[in-house]
Amino acid sequence: MTQPAGTHKGVIFSGMRPTGLLHLGNYMGALQNWVTLQDDYNCIYCAVDIHALTTVESSEDIQAIKPNIEDMVLDWLAAGVDPEKSIVFIQSHVPEVMTLHTLLSMVTPLGWLTRVPTFKDKVRQMHETEETVNYGLVGYPVLQTADIILYKADTVPVGQDQVPHIELSREIVRRFNNLFGETFPEPQAKLTEARLIVGLDGQNKMSKTLDNHLDLAASPEETTKRVLTAFTDPQRVRRDDPGRPEVCNIYSLHKIFSGASDVNTVYDECVTAARGCVDCKRHVADSINDYLKELRERREEIKSKPGYVQEILHEGGKKARAIAVETINEVYEKMGLS
Ligand code: TRP
Ligand code: SF4
């Protein structure tokens, strides 16, 4: 995109923990947005493998990190994250982030960190207490701040759950700038009106942990098979019971993935029991498979090029590191280090 003279593109930074294959909820909620933002910003997208280490509990967890990065980045590229436009890299390839993390920890009161709701949740989930929890997990948002400001990013596209982290980043930046002089822009969270995708259980947000998800990279057959296990209107017990589309998640999925006239047909045929739930699920699975067709083809194509993803990540790491080194030099100077 050409820019009017005298204007600068903003810098976007966003990261995802490498949890492996992404699902439809990740796509509609975040990834699709990452792709669109590439037209208006200089974007930096990062697989945050050091953050993944804050919650490892077994050697399997550790062994999973590398293949998970590869699976996740393949999904990014298949979705349209374009390494010609954006920097795509692995967090640990730029060790300067750990330097900045340590330095930022000098201006971060402990109370700010233990107050964060995600911290309290994680401690509970991991069956830890504030006494036994890793110091690394306490510092999670400090590392996240380092991620963002190492590249002087001003805009961070995130979901609602991450807003407290970005608020904290702003406070850390304010403190840093006050003490050491104006250095970093205060990053802004950019909430995307992400479409919430409810999972196959019909109750919760689509998530891998709850196993109610549809993987982007699944085959059309696997997708259909999983959709057939989905919950529908619980009051529709027999085939000739009329259904209530407004309480059925299959209907919500039709509204997103099927055409407008199909949606009307689904509604009418559901409330009159003219269609059965099995046919209705096959129908929505077909719509989802059509929607993902191109992404899946691109994924196969990219996957078939040996070493391609590794090469992208290597190049991205070099570009990211060049920026990072400059920032660290400036920070050293400001903080009286040499
Ligand atoms: N904490 C984010 C999450 O759990 C991942 C993340 C790490 C991130 N560093 C980031 C997101 C920097 C935005 C910017 O989803
Ligand atoms: Fe849901 Fe479709 Fe069954 Fe109606 S027919 S309850 S919309 S799955």
Strands 87-90, 10-16: pairing is: unpaired
Regarding predicted confidence, which is higher, 131 or 250? 250
| Long-range CB contacts (within 8 A, 24+) of 290-293 | 290/257, 291/257, 292/24, 292/216, 292/223
* Ligand showing the shortest atom-to-Cα distance for residue 34: 1
pLDDT digits (tens, 9 = 90+) for 248-296: 999 999 999 999 999 999 999 999 999 999 999 999 999 999 999 999 9
Is 44's C-beta closer than 6 angstroms to any atom of ligand 1?
no
Could you give the C-alpha distances from 277 to 99, 231, 303, 329, in angstroms and in order? 56, 10, 36, 62
Q: Helix (H, G, I), strand (E, B), or coil: what is residue 254?
A: helix
User: What pLDDT shows up at residue 229?
Assistant: 97
Which ligand places an atom closest to the C-alpha of 241?
2
Torsion-angle region of 240 (φ positive above 0: left; ψ -120 to 50: alpha; else: beta): alpha
CB 224 within 8 A of CB 279: no
DSSP 243: P
For the Cβ of 14 lying below 6 angstroms from any atom of ligand 1, the answer is: yes
In this model, does residue 4 exceed pLDDT 90?
no
200 C-alpha vs ligand 2 centroid, how far in Å? Answer: 13
217-to-10, 213, 220, 312 alpha-carbon distances in Å: 32, 12, 9, 20
| DSSP strand pairing (87-90 vs 41-47) | parallel
For residue 26, which ligand has an atom nearest its CA?
1
DSSP 176-242: HHHHH-S-SPPPEEEE--PPPPB-TTSSSB--TTTT---BTTS-HHHHHHHHTT----TT--STTSP
Pairwise CA distance, residues 101 & 103, whole Å: 6
Probe target for ligand 1 pocket from 94, 147, 149, 192, with the most ligand atoms within 8 Å of CB: 147
Task: Give the predicted TM-score (pTM) of the model.
Answer: 0.94
Q: How far is the CA of 307 from the centre of ligand 2 (A)?
A: 44
d(CA 19, CA 221) in angstroms, rounded, equals 23
Q: Which of 44, 137, 144 has the most ligand 1 atoms within 8 A of CB, as the residue to mutate?
A: 144
Q: Is the CB of 144 under 6 A from ligand 1?
A: yes
pLDDT digits (tens, 9 = 90+) for 40-91: 999 999 999 999 999 999 999 999 999 999 999 999 999 999 999 999 999 9
C-beta 243 within 6 A of ligand 2: yes
Q: Give the count of alpha carbons within 13 A of 3, CB side only.
A: 10
Give the alpha-carbon dihedral of 170, 166, 18, 293, to 10 degrees: -130
